[in-house]
């Protein structure tokens, strides 16, 4: 293997690699995930696709052979360089049942998740909330104020989503950088408090 | 490793010498071209060459996939091959914390993230 050189880490590279961390932005289609990511990202949100082969057994298929379909799942993501040696990635991804396989990959090692909610379509976030709750992933619920969410609506939404009082709820405008920053800081602080409790 | 016609044989590289399964590379793992990767001359495979150029400044595996326009799974395989050949380095945040808690569960990391976000 002539082109393998033992001096892999030598040269002009910095001595220490930067650390990269990530936060997942989840929610139904059109809830504002890409807008949210774009509001704080230092790059235009990028899109990547995972090619997946889904095995499914169709009831119509008399042979009962599993049929294989190829689907792609898109996710939009952005990057924030927080320091010379620290980079935060935000991954926006649809929360939908047929995409859960991809979520394992996206959420592994994540600081936590922002579950974005459109109060007119609450049910769209049920799957995402179930997922993060079951896996013990720290999360906050961010109500994207398309129509202006009143503060007193927030507890109604918490009831409707059946989310415990320990989970922070925030009202946000996904288009506003400062508002998105508040949501992210709330999530990080929540993740910190969960560690401090244990 | 080369085939009789001189081309590299990726399937062999894909299974030999890897230290871990391709799927274990985190999507946020940072890929950077090593000194060897910079001085090796241009790679005969255009996708590999693009990755080597792109990662002169470190990029996540997800960025590699998006910018080079390939599915995530393909990017992981190419990055893992390049790593095996010593042409890129992959800084995997999980591997970096092997044996201790993950960065996402490390209080001082989280403090730095919080403070960095506040400063934005
Ligand atoms: N009025 C308003 N519109 C928003 C807000 N967030 C997103 N949008 C719009 O809603 C649409 C869907 O947003 P997008 O970010 O693409 O949703 P995604 O499917 O979750 O990624 C876009 O046209 C956005 O401009 C918001 O906070 N307020
Ligand atoms: Mg989107």
Q: Is the ipTM, as predicted for this complex, more than 0.90? A: no
Q: What is the model's pLDDT at position B1? A: 42
Q: What is the model's pLDDT at position B61? A: 96
Q: How far apart are CA A17 and CA A101, in angstroms?
A: 30
Domains in chain B: boundaries: 30-118
Dihedral of the alpha carbons of B43, B47, B51, B53, in degrees to the nearest 10: 50
Question: Which among A21, A82, A189 is the nearest to B28, CB-wise?
Answer: A21
A37 contacts A44 by C-beta, under 8 angstroms: no
From chain B, pick out residues whose CB is under 8 angstroms from the CB of A87: 28, 30, 58, 60
pTM of the model: 0.85
B34 contacts B88 by C-beta, under 8 angstroms: yes
> What is the distance in angstroms between the Cα of B28 and the nearest Cα belonging to chain A?
6
What is the residue with the minimal CA distance to atom 28 of ligand 1? A146
Report which ligand 1 atom has the smallest distance to the Cα of A37. 15
Domains in chain A: boundaries: 19-47+72-196
Mutate to test the pocket of ligand 1, among A174, A177, A178, A183 (most ligand atoms within 8 A of CB): A174
More confident residue, B20 or A114: A114
pLDDT by residue (tens digit) across B93-108? 877 666 667 899 999 9
Q: Which fold has domain A19-47+72-196?
A: Rossmann fold (3.40.50)
| Ligand 1 pocket list (CB less than 6 A) | A 27, 29-35, 92, 144-146, 173-175
Q: What is the model's pLDDT at position A163? A: 95
Question: Which among A3, A46, A189 is the nearest to B114, CB-wise?
Answer: A189
Judged against a pLDDT cut of 50, whether residue B9 lies above it is answered with no
More confident residue, A112 or B97: A112
Residue A19 burial by CB count (10 A; 0-12/13-18/19+): exposed, middle or buried? Answer: buried
What residues have CB less than 8 Å from A178, skipping those under 6 apart? Answer: none
What is the residue with the minimal CA distance to atom 14 of ligand 1? A32
Over residues A52-71, mean pLDDT: 53
pLDDT by residue (tens digit) across A146-183? 877 777 788 999 999 999 999 999 999 999 999 999 99
Q: What is the model's pLDDT at position A95? A: 67
Q: How confident is the model at residue B37 (pLDDT cuts 50, 70, 90)?
A: very high
> What is the distance in angstroms between the Cα of A126 and the nearest Cα belonging to chain B?
24
The rounded Å distance from CA B85 to ligand 2 centre is 36
Q: Which ligand is nearest to the CA of A145?
A: 1
Q: What is the model's pLDDT at position A54? A: 54
Q: What is the model's pLDDT at position A192? A: 97
> What is the distance in angstroms between the Cα of B120 and the nearest Cα belonging to chain A?
8
For the ranges A175-189, B40-54, B63-77, the one whose mean pLDDT is highest: A175-189
Judged against a pLDDT cut of 80, whether residue B57 lies above it is answered with yes
């Amino acid at each position: 293997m002539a082109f393998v050189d033992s001096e892999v880490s030598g040269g002009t590279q910095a001595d220490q690699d930067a650390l990269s961390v990530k936060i997942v932005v989840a929610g139904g289609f059109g809830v504002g995930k890409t807008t949210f990511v774009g509001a704080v990202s230092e790059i235009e949100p990028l899109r990547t696709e995972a090619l997946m082969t889904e095995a499914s057994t169709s009831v119509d298929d008399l042979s009962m052979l599993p049929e294989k379909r190829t689907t792609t799942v898109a996710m939009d993501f952005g990057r924030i360089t927080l320091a010379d040696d620290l980079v935060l990635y935000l991954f926006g991804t649809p929360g939908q049942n047929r995409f859960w396989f991809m979520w394992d990959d996206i959420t592994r090692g994540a600081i936590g998740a922002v579950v974005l909610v459109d109060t007119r379509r609450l049910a769209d976030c049920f799957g995402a909330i179930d997922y993060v709750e079951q896996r013990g992933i720290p999360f906050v619920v961010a109500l994207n104020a398309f129509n202006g969410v009143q503060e007193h609506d927030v507890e109604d939404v918490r009831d409707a989503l059946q989310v415990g009082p320990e989970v922070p709820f925030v009202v946000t405008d996904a288009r506003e950088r400062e508002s998105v920053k508040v949501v992210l800081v709330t999530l990080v602080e929540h993740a910190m408090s969960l560690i401090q409790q244990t | 490793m080369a085939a009789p016609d001189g081309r590299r044989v990726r399937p062999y590289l894909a299974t030999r010498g890897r230290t871990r399964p391709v799927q274990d590379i985190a999507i946020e793992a940072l890929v950077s071209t090593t000194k060897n990767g910079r001085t090796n001359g241009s790679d005969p495979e255009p996708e590999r060459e693009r990755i080597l150029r792109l990662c002169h400044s470190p990029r996540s595996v997800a960025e590699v996939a998006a910018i080079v326009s390939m599915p995530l799974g393909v990017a992981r395989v190419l990055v893992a091959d390049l790593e095996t050949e010593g042409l890129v380095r992959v800084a995997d945040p999980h591997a970096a914390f092997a044996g201790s808690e993950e960065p996402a569960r490390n209080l001082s990391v989280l403090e730095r993230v919080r403070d960095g976000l506040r400063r934005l």
